[in-house]
Amino acid sequence: MAKQYDAIVIGAGIIGACVGFELAKQGKKVLNVDKLSGSGFGSTSGSCAIIRLHYSTPDGVAMAREGYYYWLDWVRYLGVVDPTGLVKYINTGCLVIKTEKNHYLKNVMASLDELNVCYEELDPEGIKKLMTIADTRQFGPPVTQKDPRFGEPTADAVAGAIYVPESGLISDPKQSVHNVQKAGENVGGEYLFKAKVVEILKKEGRCAGIKLEDGTEIHAPVVVNVAGPHSYQINEMAGVTQGMKIKTRPLKQEVCHVPSPEGFDYNNLGTIISDGDVGCYSRPEIGNHVLIGSEDPECDTLDYVDDPDTYDTNFTEQWTTQVMREAQRLKGLPIPGPGKAQGIVDLYDASDDWIPIYDKSDLPGFYMAVGTSGNQYKNAPVVGVLMAELIEGCEGGQDHDKDPIKFKMHYTKRECDIGFFSRLREINPNSSFSVIG
């Protein structure tokens, strides 16, 4: 006889775990299912786990600010201590370079002001004072290595920057999911690993559960797709893609792991840098290293994959390009030679406009928290609450498409309109179409 639950969450990454936790706190019998062998083993384990507050809209800043407080108050959020260890929030601050493309951060600063987030405006000399190894010449807009201008300055100095001191990172993204798993189990949630979903069950015109690869059926009136880079496959199983204006695709990403410039204590003196001028973001990494990711400048070709289970996991020329771009900003940054590349190759679950989809679907009972990779790790606890509110409202009869569900965020006291994340929205022209830019 098939097991019966109130809700099934497909995925046990950071967002899936937080969704399961919040549903269980409502008293629902919840099961998180994942094809991998443990929580956080998927794309979350490859996250840079950056916690930053700068966005170009007040609502974006509010969401990040809300999430920031959850990470600061992590143990109280969990309500239980994970015996295998709790993650820590490490404050590093964040330096954001002004560029023409980001409108010299005018909208960002206005949005930070509205949420009373402190920041400091810096001129090039102020940037050097903050980061003594910084080269403050302008190099952008970014170009590829094939362009003869690659690596050559385009102006004597960048337009300046802002420094947001309340920014940082989580010590271990994979362990953070295990923390939430333990919190969910503490309030009655369950987890099932090594369980591949092959079918979304339907009955009388609505979602009825899932079928696993081994033939097991698990029944529930609510199924939530939080499958990360596999989310589009799950949506296709549910037959809901035709009713979506915004869709998701797996996108290959390379994150570089290189030593700090010699003689500079990057772990203690380094900061997160969001640098649209060179097309990279970076952060300190243990062992006096620097992690470098791409802000996906327009000159680069985005590497979307057809099958998230079979893609090239090797480093490419993109790895070297990112390190060389970052070396334009960080004087003395080593550029490892052939065969010495280190870092991570993984997949994002990217939506068409890089804004996540938190929504119901055309199949009653089937919900989605997808298109989240690269920019929503920091918001995961808030997304858990958001999805629980969305599901409760929709299952209670509210037509979310016509009358979007709203909820008041706990810490910031601002109202969040979940309709902003609708699958039916037009592509947002104001999106940065990147991760951190």
Pairing type for strands 50-51 and 168-170 reads antiparallel
Establish if 72 belongs to a structural domain.
Answer: yes
pLDDT at 436 over 80: no
pLDDT at 251 over 90: yes
Helix (H, G, I), strand (E, B) or coil at 323: helix
H helix or E strand, kind and range, residue 275 = strand 272-275
For residue 264, give its domain range: 92-166+250-351
Residues 176, 37, single domain; the answer is yes
Residues 185, 60, single domain; the answer is yes
- State residue 429's pLDDT score: 65
Establish if 430 belongs to a structural domain.
Answer: no
Choose the final residue of a domain: 299, 321, 351.
351
**Whole-angstrom Cα distance, residue 315 to residue 292?**
13
Q: Helices in 56-212 by DSSP H: which ranges?
A: 58-72, 74-78, 106-114, 124-130, 173-186
Residues 306, 372, single domain; the answer is no
Residues 23, 115, single domain; the answer is no
- Phi and psi at 267, nearest 5°, equal -65, -35
Residues 273-294 pLDDT 10s:
999 999 999 999 999 999 999 9
Residues 315, 215, single domain; the answer is no
Ranking 114-118, 256-260, 423-427 by mean pLDDT, the lowest is 423-427
Establish if 36 belongs to a structural domain.
Answer: yes
Residues 146, 201, single domain; the answer is no
Instruction: Give Rg (Cα) of the chain.
Output: 22
Residues 227, 178, single domain; the answer is yes
Instruction: Say if pTM beats, i.e. exceeds, 0.85.
Output: yes
Report, in this order, helix, strand and coil percent for the chain, each rounded to 5: 30, 25, 45
**Whole-angstrom Cα distance, residue 331 to residue 132?**
9
Establish if 263 belongs to a structural domain.
Answer: yes
Ranking 23-32, 167-176, 313-322, 427-436 by mean pLDDT, the lowest is 427-436
Establish if 434 belongs to a structural domain.
Answer: no
What CATH number corresponds to the domain at position 374?
Answer: 3.50.50.60
Pick from 432, 240, 292: nearest CA to 350: 432
Residues 343, 357, single domain; the answer is no
Residues 284, 410, single domain; the answer is no
Please, which pLDDT band fits residue 374 given cuts at 50, 70 and 90? confident
What CATH number corresponds to the domain at position 126?
Answer: 3.30.9.10
pLDDT at 213 over 80: yes
pLDDT at 1 over 90: no
Residues 66, 186, single domain; the answer is yes
Q: How many domains does the chain have?
A: 2
pLDDT at 432 over 70: no
Residues 185, 331, single domain; the answer is no
